[in-house]
Structure 1
Amino acid sequence: MARCPAALPTDHTPCAGPAAVLDADNAGADGCEHHAARLLAVLDRGRVFALPHAPAGAAHRVFKAAAPQQERLHRLADAIVTSPATPC
């Protein structure tokens, strides 16, 4: 099954609906709300906009869904950077 272009290569979850959002500069990928939220969570200063055929509120839902993921990812990044080195 084809997946939306916003799905990260390591994300094997299925798409949730049709492509509904893209980034602000048209330089990113159209994506379903599920994968767009996951992609937004890992982007630095990413923004989303609803495509013309998107359901009302699509970009807002993606933004809200990405926020909790961003917080977890930043905490994980801080833990990796600040943890003492361990031997392999």
Structure 2
Amino acid sequence: MSQTSQLNDVTTLELAQALMERLSISPDDWHRLKSNRNSRASEQVAAAMVFLLKNQPLEAQARLEQAVGWLDKSISAPPCPTHGKN
């Protein structure tokens, strides 16, 4: 079975959820990628797609605004709460 044929058996929502899972920053990669603007924006855009497909436009808009914030450098990662404490 070709890859295209296999994808035809998956719903659009399932594809978006798989993309969101793929682009989500894992706990193991958090410190390395928490300030990576491309990674953070990609993560938020994928989440927005899932919310759009679930007919939750306000949640999608919030994720898209976060993605834009990462790209235009208007937001940045907060410090890790477990570091810097005595």
TM superposition score normalised by structure 1: 0.28
Please identify the structure whose Cα radius of gyration is greater: 2
